[in-house]
Structure 1
Amino acid sequence: MALADCDRVAEIRVHGWQHAYRNLLPQPRLDTLSVSADAERRRAHFGDGTGPVRNLVAERDGEIVGWAAHGPYRDGDARTADAELYALYVDPGRLGSGIGRALLTESVRQRAGAGHPRMFLWVLKGNARARRFYERAGFRPDGAEEPFDVDGVQVPEVRYVRTLAA
């Protein structure tokens, strides 16, 4: 991912939230998501590619159609030896086309290659489609659950884990 990709990645992320989290998060929150504000946040946090967070984009015919971010597992403010998939979004019009699978496969490959023993991710408990996707890729819920507060509404997230092969 390049700095110039932040606008398109923000568009994919915002539209991904609006599509995937309909009926899971409060609709007013989804309605007020801003592509420009998200892009600005992305640009402000964008690194030079040498830090611990890796941003990947998937392209088809020269157009960015998906984005994933991964890095060390976050346990509060501490980082552990494990890896974490922070985000994975595909343009909603391209769901089911293998883009998400390719991004996940590459994220797992990079983290395994960096020597991380496991990869974790958090997913909304009610997001059945995403949970099936991660389970098909070898991730399993490990019993950890956290509340995710969205405008005063508690939306539980569950943690998934997968052992990585060196």
Structure 2
Amino acid sequence: MTTEPLATAGTVIVRPALVGDADAMARVFVDSFRAGHRGQVPENVLQSRTYESSAAAWRRDLTAPSPGEYISVATIGGEVVGLAMVGPPHPWADDDTARGEVPTAECWALYVDPSRQREGIGRLLIGDFSRHLAGQGIRRLLVGVLTANAPARAFYESLGAALIGSRLNLDEGQTFPESVYAWPDLPTKVLD
């Protein structure tokens, strides 16, 4: 895996994540998850995300990635301020026909440090992994978003994603409604 920057905009550099990024990725993930989902999920779900467990999970994923998985980070001045993870789509019968016709991937995670949101970092991460996926022959992208997360839904809609259905997301033994969005063509030009 190369460590060369794949995308830049101003002082933001997007590159493949490295095992050494795991602690910083955990900070971004936990802080963003808790800030973004407060009031949308019970407190025990928010508190189940810890820096320690998240860092261990990122180290595991970066050491032994699953087939088709791609993890990247956005940095400013060498500090990780955002992360993204994509891979094969989660099983979902409602989408079997479409994914059987068009090579499809799913965005599993997209998190930006709460203090750096609305600066275009999420857009850069999406553009980066979309270009990566296109290079792998993937032409379609899905993302599942908690239905209660209106800001995230608006963000994906602003980038051209279309709502294609809903499913349930199991987290900490509880189920939450999730809205599923798709780009029929990868959003490789989200900065245009």
Both structures adopt the same fold (TM-score exceeding 0.5): yes
Structure 2 portions without partners, runs of 5+: 1-16
Q: What corresponds to 2:123 in structure 1?
A: 101
In the alignment, the residues of structure 2 paired with residue 25 and residue 53 of structure 1 have an alpha-carbon distance, to the nearest angstrom, of: 27
Q: Percent identity?
A: 32
Q: What corresponds to 1:128 in structure 2?
A: 150
User: What is the TM-score with the length of structure 1 in the denominator?
Assistant: 0.88
**SS of aligned partner of 1:73:** coil
Q: What corresponds to 2:178 in structure 1?
A: 157
**SS of aligned partner of 1:39:** helix
In the alignment, the residues of structure 1 paired with residue 68 and residue 180 of structure 2 have an alpha-carbon distance, to the nearest angstrom, of: 21
Q: Which has the higher strand share?
A: 1
- 1:49 Cα shift? 6.8
**Are 2:134 and 1:112 aligned?**
yes
Q: Give the stretch that moved more between structures: 37-46 or 86-95.
A: 37-46
In the alignment, the residues of structure 2 paired with residue 3 and residue 152 of structure 1 have an alpha-carbon distance, to the nearest angstrom, of: 29
In the alignment, the residues of structure 2 paired with residue 86 and residue 50 of structure 1 have an alpha-carbon distance, to the nearest angstrom, of: 12
In the alignment, the residues of structure 1 paired with residue 69 and residue 86 of structure 2 have an alpha-carbon distance, to the nearest angstrom, of: 6
Supply the AA of the counterpart residue of 2:141.
M
User: What is the TM-score with the length of structure 2 in the denominator?
Assistant: 0.77
Q: CA RMSD in A?
A: 2.3
- 1:112 Cα shift? 2.2
In the alignment, the residues of structure 2 paired with residue 25 and residue 61 of structure 1 have an alpha-carbon distance, to the nearest angstrom, of: 33
Supply the AA of the counterpart residue of 1:6.
A
Encode CA deviations 1:16-55: one digit per residue, 9 max, x unaligned.
Answer: 1100000000013213421111111221222467941010
**SS of aligned partner of 1:126:** coil
Moved >6 Å (runs of 4+): none
In the alignment, the residues of structure 2 paired with residue 25 and residue 4 of structure 1 have an alpha-carbon distance, to the nearest angstrom, of: 30
Decide whether aligned partners of structure 1 residues 137 and 32 sit closer, same or farther in structure 2, where only a CA change above 3 A counts.
Answer: same
